[in-house]
Amino acid sequence: VFILLCSLAAALFFELGPVLHGPSIRFGLPIGVVTFVVYLLLLKSLEEGEVSVNVTVFRMNFVVSSALAVVLLGEILTVRKIFGLLLCFGAILMLLIAAPSRNRGKHTGLRYSVPACLLAGGLNILVKTALTAGALTVQLLLFRYCVVAVLAALWHLLSRGRNSPGTGTVYQLALLSAAAMMFSLYFTFAALRIGEVALVIPINQLAFVFSAAGAVLIFKEQMSKPKLLALILAVASIVTIA
Give the pLDDT confidence score for residue 148 in this predicted structure: 92
Task: Specify whether the CB–CB gap between 61 and 118 falls below 8 A.
Answer: yes
Please list the alpha-helical segments (H only) found in the chain. 2-13, 22-48, 51-58, 61-72, 79-98, 101-104, 110-132, 137-158, 168-194, 197-205, 208-218, 225-241
- Residues 71, 22: Cα–Cα separation, whole Å: 28
Task: Specify whether the CB–CB gap between 144 and 38 falls below 8 A.
Answer: no
Task: Specify whether the CB–CB gap between 178 and 213 falls below 8 A.
Answer: no
User: What digits encode the pLDDT tens for the residues 160-218?
Assistant: 655 566 678 888 888 898 888 888 888 888 888 888 887 787 777 777 777 777 777 88
pTM for this predicted structure = 0.77
Give the pLDDT confidence score for residue 36 in this predicted structure: 96
Percent of the chain with pLDDT over 90: 18
All residue ranges of the chain with pLDDT < 70 are 15, 52, 99-108, 160-166, 221, 242
7 φψ region: left (φ > 0), alpha (ψ -120 to 50), beta (else): alpha
Give the pLDDT confidence score for residue 19 in this predicted structure: 78
- Residues 198, 68: Cα–Cα separation, whole Å: 9
Give the pLDDT confidence score for residue 26 in this predicted structure: 94
Give phi and psi for 160, each to the nearest 5. Answer: -60, 135
- Residues 61, 26: Cα–Cα separation, whole Å: 24
Give the pLDDT confidence score for residue 189 in this predicted structure: 83
Nearby residues of 129 by Cβ (< 8 Å), 6 or more positions away: 27
Give the pLDDT confidence score for residue 34 in this predicted structure: 96
